[in-house]
Amino acid sequence: MLTRERRRLDEMRPVFERGQVRPVISEVLPLEEVRRAHERLDSGHGTGKTVLDLS
């Protein structure tokens, strides 16, 4: 399964690198707010992804 997913990501990489597809990000949260991120995922919050900032 991981090999198949890796292959799909490798096939999609050029599209992302050319800027033809952009992810929809609804919010960026610091790692300390991981609980809030999980709550938003569990609630089915709608469009966009919640990103955890690890820096």
DSSP string, 5-48: HHHHHHHHHHHHHTTS----EEEEEEGGGHHHHHHHHHHT--SS
User: What residue type is 30 in one-letter code?
Assistant: P
Q: What is the pLDDT of residue 4?
A: 84
For position 10, what pLDDT does the model report?
Answer: 92
| CA 46 to chain CA centroid, nearest Å | 14
pLDDT, residue 45, reads 67
- Assess contact for 31 and 51: CB atoms under 8 A: no
Quick: pLDDT tens for 7-45.
998 999 999 899 998 889 999 999 999 999 999 888 886
Q: Is 52 helix (H, G, I), strand (E, B) or coil?
A: strand
The confidence score (pLDDT) of residue 31 equals 96
State residue 1's pLDDT score. 54
